[in-house]
Amino acid sequence: MTRHPEEINRELQTRNAKRETAVGKLQQSEEQFRLLVEGVQDYAIYLLNLEGVVTTWNSGAQRIKGYQAEEIIGKHFSRFYRPKDIQAGKPNRSLEVAAAKGRYEEENLRVRKDGSVFWANVLITALYDTGGQLCGFAKVVRDITERKETEQRLRETERLATLGTTAAVFAHEIGNPLNGLSTSLQILSGLIRELVHDPVVEETLEISRQELQRLTALLDDYRSFARPGSVKIQPSNPRQIFDEVLAPAAQHYEECGITLELEFDDNVPLIAVDREKIKQVILNLCKNAVEAMPKGGTLKCRAYRKADRVILEVTDTGKGIPEGLDVFQLFKTTKPSGTGLGLPIVEQIISEHRGTVHYVSELGKGTAFIVSLPLSDTGELTKEPLVSQGKKR
């Protein structure tokens, strides 16, 4: 049966209209999806070609990584990696794994435009065309720095709780014998002075007395570390706390060839802290800084506000801290006469204030210790403390 041309024409028009409607809906859907991806703020979402060159860039990527779209599109994605990761071939290896397995995921450090480093959860997914050929990669990145820092603080809480228990037992077991030895040595010294005037014997007794004093000082520090955390909170001025610590030591610094530089922002608010404990923190950090500059140098102390925190910094121009040394570990020290307890005590005190402490150091150029304290009310500081961090890498 022959169909009338007009009927065929109407059918074609209907099909074309349906096709145009479907295409319009598809284009609308694609546009909505594009707007969705571009508008996501919490995730960096972008595409890479087969060589790893960035081809798209959403607002979340701009917020997290710091690049405007026109700055990064057309550039290789390896610039988001640390130099040592680039040298190890990690960027290309991640694409190779994604191409072979369909996806690649890791949690690692990444670099922003300004050079700062952050923890990132990274997912790279291989993309294929309609013919099944690999045509590029989709990459989704989330900043997980806050989560990582929380996990680190929780791990440090458990570690310090264990060390604190050990410290209490150690202090109890060692304290009594030390007291007995000290008393016996005093009696012995008196008897020998009355009966024998031998310079060698007297020098030996004096050395023994000094060693006992050193062990007693070590035990006192250890007891300080073992003591349960309790803070007596009061509103305090960071500048005044620094002044109270630094003023008595000013002449000593001058004699050691140390130049003292102070930098305090005018807008630094009062902080709710245990004044004496924070003074101990600053005293320990400044003492370490001066000892790191035996031939003189510059000791710089700063205090400033950063968002909802107050930052205290103590910087020296000394010899720096060797790579791989955990200075927050008990009894770890580079000083011949050091106890290795000063910085663990600093860490514990800052933990009690729900703060963080870390350092940056370069051999031969110096070290900066950075203490971050929250701007919270006194009620917040009565909660179970979170501990501080070690070196940021």
pLDDT for residue 48: 95
pLDDT for residue 86: 94
Contacts of 288 (CB under 8 A, 6+ apart): 316, 342, 343, 369
The Cα–Cα gap between 254 and 361 comes to 24
pLDDT by residue (tens digit) across 292-305? 999 999 999 999 99
Which strand (E) or helix (H) includes residue 233? strand 233-236
Contacts of 368 (CB under 8 A, 6+ apart): 313, 314, 315, 316, 359, 360, 361
Q: Which CATH superfamily is domain 18-143 in?
A: PAS domain (3.30.450.20)
pLDDT for residue 96: 95
Topology match between the domains 18-143 and 231-393: no
Q: Considering the domain 145-228 in this protein, what is its CATH number?
A: 1.10.287
pLDDT for residue 322: 86
pLDDT by residue (tens digit) across 179-226? 777 777 777 777 777 776 777 777 777 778 777 776 776 666 666 655
Q: Which CATH superfamily is domain 231-393 in?
A: Histidine kinase-like ATPase, C-terminal domain (3.30.565.10)
User: Structure tokens of 253?
Assistant: 């610094």
pLDDT for residue 205: 75
Neighbouring C-alpha atoms within 13 Å toward the C-beta of 5: 0
Mean pLDDT by 10 residues, the chain (393 residues): 68 70 54 51 90 93 92 95 93 95 94 92 94 94 89 77 69 70 76 74 76 71 59 87 90 91 89 89 92 93 90 93 79 56 83 88 91 68 39 38
Q: Where are the domains of the chain?
A: 18-143, 145-228, 231-393
Q: In degrees rounded to 5, what are phi and psi of residue 174?
A: -90, -30
pLDDT for residue 27: 55
Distances (CA, A) of 229 to 86, 170, 326, 381, 385: 44, 18, 23, 11, 9
Task: State the burial class of residue 183 (Cβ atoms within 10 Å of its Cβ: 0-12, 13-18, 19+).
Answer: exposed
